[in-house]
Structure 1
Amino acid sequence: MPTNNKLKIFNDPIYGFITIPNSLIFDLIQHKYFQRLRRISQMGLSYLVYPGAHHTRFHHALGCMHLMQKAINVLRIKGVEISEDEDNGLLIAILLHDIGHGPFSHAMEHSIVNDISHEEISLRFMEELNEEFNGSLTLAISIFKGEYPRKFMCELISSQLDMDRADYLKRDSFYTGVAEGNINSERLITMLNVVNDELVVEEKGIYSVEKFLVARRFMYWQVYLHKTGVVAEQLLMRILKRAKELVQLGTTLRSSEPLYYFLNSEINAESFNTGNLEIFAKLDDYDIVAAMKDWQYHEDFVLSNLCVMIINRDLLKIKLKNKPIKSSELIAHSNVLMDTYNISKTEADYFVFQGEITNQAYQNKKQHINVLLKSGKIKDIVKASDQLNLKALSKPVTKYYMCYPKNKM
């Protein structure tokens, strides 16, 4: 099918006009795999907390590509050699880095597809596209996998200060209205450089990095790990788990064909083949929402009540604590539920459960944000900064939660 390559610009509410640099990238954006991202929420069910958070993975991917264009230009001005092929590889790798996300971004990974992450599915999509585009994505795939010999390029895709984080913090802050998460992505990028094949931030950019890490901490506690968002995602995962359980027991559930396929199949990393990928590519948020609207009237007590909770935003109560929840508290809530509705312990466990959430703004044991001092020395941001709380931000903080019904369902 001939491709119309006239459209070269997108108007983005964060950065203004985003230019599509060449026909290959335009064709990738036009591809059905990528267009599906228009129907995948960037922040899952966070719109139940922040009504404006309806932006999509499509928005985010284009924003990341735009920031990568800026990063490449900045590094070239500073004398870092980046060939046209490498330029293209970087842009394609960041454009497609999230193409494997399923409906509502993370819920699928933990419910109806087992032991395969969205990164692995993204890689499968990229390999499939590489076949279709005659090997044009080979270098991009190498960078995405972290195998390309120029380490800094891999760090631009995935690191403590990559283009993914530079976009999603700013974008999610904008759409949620949480001002504390607003970072100056372009200032950060302007301060980037490369030393010994590793990405560094010039000393005058220290304060921008400090702001970036503090903003990341705020966004995790206030947005990504907001307790209402946590319980909503848990409910969605349990809906899919219960639906799969029922289908595999022979119960008839109405749903789209792609969703029914995954409910009726045991798919894991080993069995996730090209055929499964094609079916996965037909799944998006609308399949799940349409199913929940129908399932809220199903005769199964668990499935119908879980769906009603999300559809009507009448969620479970969630309590956050600094210490692990005592099992006696869970048992008490579970017993009340079992007695009131004459349901089994297995069914009650869908409504009464516990878990934990962890926030670590800077994972310095995993990877460093290095600062290039004026003296030429390189220091980790924690040692280079005079901001005492950066050390605290590198320590993981864990909170424990318990969910249970507010009152009678």
Structure 2
Amino acid sequence: MSHINKLKIFNDPIYGFITIPNALIYDLIQHPYFQRLRRITQMGLSYLVYPGANHTRFHHALGCMHLMQKAVDVLRFKEVLISDEEENALYIAILLHDIGHGPFSHTMEKSIVEDVHHEQISLLFMEQLNIEFDGKLNLAIKVFKGEYHRKFMLQLISSQLDMDRMDYLKRDSFYSGVAEGNVNSERLIQMMNVVDDFLVIEEKGIYSIEKFLMSRRLMYWQAYLHKTSLVAELILTKVLKRAKELTTKGIQLSCSEPLLFFMQNKISFETFDAKNLNLFSQLDDFDIISALKSWQNNPDFILASLSKMIINRDLLKIKLTTEKPTIDDLELFKEKFAQENNLSLQEANYFVFKGKIKNQAYSKEAEPIRILKKDRSVEDVFESPDQLNLKSLSKSVTKYYICFPKQLEQIKI
């Protein structure tokens, strides 16, 4: 009988060596549900802008677990009591927090699997894994759902200063080359403590928080909401919606069986059963890319044209503005494009459309980042008199966009 060494080490370009703490974590990483994350890019279609941004959700999940290990060590050193069971629950919850992401991350939520958030699907995966692992994920699920009485544990997983954000900012900055996003996660973790079961940051770490929030704001403008990344994702959403529309009309499209299933069926959170979950677990970026390569030769003008845009990186023109565009601004574009390509105005909506994006680095309405002052009192970082910059970072900035085919650019709006 062969013996498998489950205490493996990963060599990560960000942190160096990442260790797997126990056999259960190893088995979860080895599960096909988790291995699927190797085939889902962390930054969606951002590689069309930043060629190095091809890293995956698999990378990110391991990085989050590594930071959680560091956080547990720091908190225990500061005499915060964390049992072995709680420690393992933290590792499992952060490892699996993104396991519900579909192909190209958020695109599926807006097209194929409508109105089902990836966190809901992550929970479904965790519950299914809990069955397979004989209830060993019970506490992790309780923490993930916010039902555990020790609130700081959820804050480490999901808050305005959690292991998730610390890793994706540092990792996405590294792979994209957007240096402004590089955060000092090690310093932030060293400043962590727990007071009354809430996570706090010691006062001397306040400037690291400011840098963290500023980095997040800049990464959204320069990377996540970069106009080319944005229009590529919008086009992909339109492709999938058109494919679903054609499929519901009985038109056969060439694609993988799991992708075809979700195009033929409207799946809600309530109907997301074990069978549907298994089919979803077979979906990854390769299903979408393979479908796009086939659909670019489809007789349907809309599906073929939009698919070619992604495959050849010949995208729609996108213009950003601080003023909301009017419906009249779009009508000239729609009428012109519809006339030139023998389309209805309704069909022209696939090529001419508008919308808005928001960027807010810190939310005053969400769970606050708490500062532990030298006199042991606790305050919201937003209330600190020394942090005038944070007040500007808490303001939501909205930009509007209009997308249209490049050949219509000469039309003035």
Band of TM-score, shorter chain: over 0.9
8 Å contact from structure 2 (residues 7, 23) kept in 1? no
Residue 109 of structure 2 corresponds to which residue in structure 1?
109
Residue 354 of structure 1 corresponds to which residue in structure 2?
354
Residue aligned with 1:250, SS: coil
Residue 381 of structure 2 corresponds to which residue in structure 1?
381
8 Å contact from structure 1 (residues 101, 122) kept in 2? yes
One-letter amino acid of the counterpart of residue 403, structure 2: C
Residue 74 of structure 1 corresponds to which residue in structure 2?
74
8 Å contact from structure 1 (residues 69, 91) kept in 2? yes
Q: 1:388 Cα shift? A: 1.8
Counterpart check, 1:196 vs 2:189: no
Residue 344 of structure 2 corresponds to which residue in structure 1?
344
In 2, distance between residues paired with 1:297 and 1:342? 18
8 Å contact from structure 2 (residues 6, 22) kept in 1? no
One-letter amino acid of the counterpart of residue 288, structure 2: I
One-letter amino acid of the counterpart of residue 266, structure 1: K
8 Å contact from structure 1 (residues 206, 385) kept in 2? no
Q: 1:408 Cα shift? A: 7.1
Q: How does 1:181-192 map to 2 (within 5 A)?
A: 181-192=181-192
In 1, distance between residues paired with 2:190 and 2:304? 52
In 2, distance between residues paired with 1:215 and 1:224? 12
Counterpart check, 1:162 vs 2:162: yes
In 2, distance between residues paired with 1:310 and 1:12? 30
Cα distance per residue 1:25-57 (max 9 Å; x no partner): 000000000000000010100000111000000
Task: State which drifts further: 54-63 or 265-274.
Answer: 265-274
8 Å contact from structure 2 (residues 7, 19) kept in 1? no
Task: State which drifts further: 399-408 or 223-232.
Answer: 399-408
Cα distance per residue 1:199-227 (max 9 Å; x no partner): 00001101110100000000011111111
Q: How does 1:63-142 map to 2 (within 5 A)?
A: 63-142=63-142
Where does the alignment leave 5 or more consecutive residues of structure 2 unmatched? none
In 2, distance between residues paired with 1:3 and 1:250? 52
Q: 1:252 Cα shift? A: 1.2
Q: How does 1:15-94 map to 2 (within 5 A)?
A: 15-94=15-94
Q: 1:381 Cα shift? A: 1.2
Residue aligned with 2:382, SS: helix
One-letter amino acid of the counterpart of residue 204, structure 1: K
Residue 275 of structure 2 corresponds to which residue in structure 1?
275
Cα distance per residue 1:239-282 (max 9 Å; x no partner): 11000110110111100111111111111112111100000000
Residue aligned with 2:406, SS: coil
Q: 1:236 Cα shift? A: 0.5
One-letter amino acid of the counterpart of residue 370, structure 2: N
Residue aligned with 2:354, SS: strand
8 Å contact from structure 2 (residues 192, 199) kept in 1? yes
Q: How does 1:293-312 map to 2 (within 5 A)?
A: 293-312=293-312
Residue aligned with 1:70, SS: helix
Where does the alignment leave 5 or more consecutive residues of structure 1 unmatched? none
Change (3 A) 1:320 1:83: same
One-letter amino acid of the counterpart of residue 220, structure 1: Y
Normalised TM-score (structure 1):
0.98
Q: How does 1:212-227 map to 2 (within 5 A)?
A: 212-227=212-227
In 1, distance between residues paired with 2:385 and 2:36? 42
In 1, distance between residues paired with 2:113 and 2:150? 34
In 2, distance between residues paired with 1:117 and 1:78? 36
8 Å contact from structure 1 (residues 352, 405) kept in 2? yes
8 Å contact from structure 1 (residues 5, 26) kept in 2? no
Residue 372 of structure 2 corresponds to which residue in structure 1?
372
8 Å contact from structure 1 (residues 295, 307) kept in 2? yes
Q: 1:4 Cα shift? A: 3.0
Residue aligned with 1:407, SS: helix
Residue aligned with 1:371, SS: strand
Q: 1:184 Cα shift? A: 0.5
Normalised TM-score (structure 2):
0.97
Q: 1:382 Cα shift? A: 2.1
Change (3 A) 1:114 1:336: same
In 2, distance between residues paired with 1:7 and 1:293? 41
One-letter amino acid of the counterpart of residue 138, structure 1: N
Counterpart check, 1:10 vs 2:48: no
Residue aligned with 2:18, SS: strand
In 1, distance between residues paired with 2:328 and 2:161? 43
In 2, distance between residues paired with 1:302 and 1:317? 16
In 2, distance between residues paired with 1:83 and 1:261? 44
Residue 246 of structure 2 corresponds to which residue in structure 1?
246
Q: 1:294 Cα shift? A: 0.6
Paired residue total: 409
One-letter amino acid of the counterpart of residue 328, structure 2: S
After TM superposition, the runs of 4+ consecutive aligned structure 1 residues lying more than 6 A away are none
Change (3 A) 1:35 1:2: farther
Change (3 A) 1:179 1:293: same
One-letter amino acid of the counterpart of residue 98, structure 2: D
Change (3 A) 1:151 1:7: closer
RMSD: 1.3
Residue 258 of structure 1 corresponds to which residue in structure 2?
258
In 2, distance between residues paired with 1:352 and 1:22? 52
In 1, distance between residues paired with 2:159 and 2:7? 32
Residue 335 of structure 1 corresponds to which residue in structure 2?
335
8 Å contact from structure 2 (residues 333, 408) kept in 1? no
In 2, distance between residues paired with 1:292 and 1:10? 33
In 1, distance between residues paired with 2:202 and 2:163? 17
Q: 1:352 Cα shift? A: 0.4
